[in-house]
Amino acid sequence: MLLAGLAAGAQDKSAILRPPKGADVALVIFEDLECPDCARAAPLVEEAARTYKIPVVRHDYPLPKHPWAYDAAILARYFDTHSKTLGNQFRDTVFQHQLEITAENLHAFAEKFGAERKVDVPFVVDPQGKLAALVNADRDLGNAIGLDHTPTLYVVSNKRAGTPFVEVVDRTQLFQLIDSMKKE
């Protein structure tokens, strides 16, 4: 019974951890905008994506222990509605200024970010809860594949045989893992 459960979990991961359409290899990351280790990982992930010209699929995985992470993820999703690039710029800016942000000043931080890019941030960002539903869906996805920490980073491929994904446990090995996945 245990083996069947493990096999089903691996199958679920294979279905979830895929590159976007048209990409052979990608990076998939589950991140928490208040996580210090996520902030440390972000520049390396961006450098790898730029170096290898591969996409990064970002998933919000706000941890309950971080008081403003969930609200920051909703704000990032708000900026995603204007453009995915803008949403990712917001995420990266949050990582760069993480130590200055609190639950109390997060909205003002987002307003300043938006103003600098000529995007108004309303007082109530998600009145229907649609953005929260997207964040919750990402968190549910992470829970479905057994995540327990952030960042959780994978190098994924669209191959059907062999290993279609590998978790990056040691980030110093990221480039080697991408090389290996591209060769297979």
pLDDT in tens, 125-178: 999 999 999 999 999 999 999 998 999 999 999 877 777 899 999 999 999 999
- Would you state the pLDDT for residue 12? 66
Length of the chain: 184
Which domains are seen in the chain, by residue range? 2-183 (3.40.30.10)
Q: What is the pLDDT of residues 50-101, one digit of tens each?
A: 999 999 999 999 999 999 999 999 999 999 999 999 999 999 999 999 999 9
Burial of residue 33, with CB atoms counted within 10 A of its CB: 0-12 exposed, 13-18 middle, 19 or more buried: buried
Q: Is the pLDDT of residue 4 over 70?
A: no
CB 184 within 8 A of CB 157: yes
The pLDDT of residue 159: 79
Residue 147 structure tokens: 């995540």
**With contact defined as beta carbons under 8 Å apart, do 75 and 121 qualify?**
yes
The distance from CA 64 to its chain's CA centroid, rounded to whole angstroms, is 16
Question: What are the pLDDT digits (tens) for 13-45?
Answer: 877 888 999 999 999 999 999 999 999 999 999
Split at pLDDT 50, 70, 90, the class of 183 is confident
The arrangement of strands across the sheet holding 56-60 comes to 56-60, 25-31, 152-157, 165-167
pLDDT of residue 90: 98
What DSSP assignment string belongs to the chain? -HHHHHHHHHHHHHHHS-PPTT-SEEEEEEE-TT-HHHHHHHHHHHHHHHHHT--EEEEE---TTSTTHHHHHHHHHHHHHH-HHHHHHHHHHHHHTGGG--TTTHHHHHHHHHHHTT----SSS-TTSHHHHHHHHHHHHHHHTT--SS-EEEEEE--SSS-SEEE-SSGGGHHHHHHHHHH-
